[in-house]
Amino acid sequence: MEIQKEEGPKMEIEKIARQNFARWAEALLAKDAKKAAELYVEGNTFLPTMSPEFKRGKTEAKDYFEHFLEVNPKGEIKEEEVQVLGEKAYIHSGMYNFEVDQDGKRSVIEARFTFVWEKDASGKWKIVHHHSSQKPKA
């Protein structure tokens, strides 16, 4: 699959990527594990930030979010890149921070992320793959 570099379509997909990230972040702020999991396709693969496990499918994504949401995460992108894979797919990757409740106070977790989004048959954007890992200490 070739990555598209045309500015018009790329700019449109970049806008969609930011909107989709906002939808995902809003589900976390709402503490709604079901809403977050609904953004993933049934056969998704997921390597979460705060779990050593490889998750597959909506049920495992929902289970992860039920526990992750206990720390009241608030995500913010710090650096990003969008790679357009066509009209119906893109990769959104970069660095984000999560503000979380930890040891009785708010802490920041610096992390790397990759989302692969695909437009489904009904025209809704869904996450096919999500990898998030804590930024290594320098």
Q: pLDDT digits over 25-50, tens only?
A: 999 999 999 999 999 999 999 999 99
Residue 2 has a pLDDT of 55
φ and ψ at 18, to 5 degrees? -65, -40
Residue 29 has a pLDDT of 97
Q: How far is CA 71 from the centre of its chain?
A: 17
Residue 1 has a pLDDT of 54
Q: Which residues pair with 100 in a beta bridge?
A: 107
User: Of 75, 115, 109, 125, nearest to 94 (Cα)?
Assistant: 115
Residue 23, pLDDT > 60, answer yes
**What pTM was computed for the model?**
0.91
Q: pLDDT digits over 58-74, tens only?
A: 999 999 999 999 999 99
Residue 3 has a pLDDT of 54
CATH 3.40.50.970 fits 7-134, yes or no: no
Sign of the alpha-carbon torsion through 15, 16, 17, 18: positive
Residue 30 has a pLDDT of 97
Provide the residue ranges of all domains of the chain, joining segments of one domain with +. Answer: 7-134
Residue 10 has a pLDDT of 87
Residue 137, pLDDT > 90, answer no
Q: pLDDT digits over 84-113, tens only?
A: 999 999 999 999 999 999 999 999 999 999
Specify whether the CB–CB gap between 88 and 16 falls below 8 A: no
H helices of the chain, in order, are 7-29, 33-37, 57-68
